[in-house]
Amino acid sequence: MKMHRYEKIWLLFGTGTLLVFLIIVGISAFYMGNQPPSCAVTLDPQKVDETPPFDQPGLKQIGEDEYQLTIVASAFNYDVGTEDKVVKIPKGSTVHFNVTTKDVVHGFQLVGTNVNMMLEPGYISTYTNTFKKPGKYTLLCNEYCGVGHHLMAATIEVTE
């Protein structure tokens, strides 16, 4: 088949770009171990309150500068383990978020960070993030979940 020289150039360019993108996705998934936040880890959504660690939501130190933050979402609240819904974390610490929902699908977005997950009943969503910059980060629901959706929020405060 006779092909124009320019046509060969742009076909090579397009195929090359596709290959580069696919290789990056492959390295990210199989070498660096990146996976979706909810990776088929399940629990009984009706027994969330009795299932550890969700029976005691809140911040737990598990190492030097390393924390596990367990949160239970429900309409229309995030149970972060504190009365005022503020979690204080020292700057530079790594936090493993461990979250589930008791009722419907909720969102879990920590504004200004890469923490952004979907919470589905029956599934545990996890994400690990290191907080380098101090400040107040708002945690909010970005999946419409009902009439109180806009009231669903909490705060993560990264202190010096």
Q: What are phi and psi of 54, to 5 degrees?
A: -75, -10
Query: In angstroms, what is the minimal distance from the CB of 14 to another protein?
Result: 7
Q: Would you say 4 or 50 has its CB closer to another protein?
A: 4
Segment 78-82 long-range contacts (CB within 8 Å, at least 24 positions apart): 78/139, 78/141, 78/152, 78/153, 78/154, 80/139, 80/154, 81/56, 81/57, 82/58
Number of H helices, E strands in the chain: 1, 10
Q: Would you say 7 or 55 has its CB closer to another protein?
A: 7
Query: In angstroms, what is the minimal distance from the CB of 10 to another protein?
Result: 4
Q: Would you say 91 or 149 has its CB closer to another protein?
A: 91
In this structure, the chain runs to a length of 160
Query: In angstroms, what is the minimal distance from the CB of 131 to another protein?
Result: 10
- Compute the radius of gyration of the chain from its Cα atoms: 20
Query: In angstroms, what is the minimal distance from the CB of 75 to another protein?
Result: 29
Residues that bind another protein (CB under 8 A): 4, 6-7, 9-10, 13-14, 17, 21, 112-114
Q: Would you say 51 or 113 has its CB closer to another protein?
A: 113
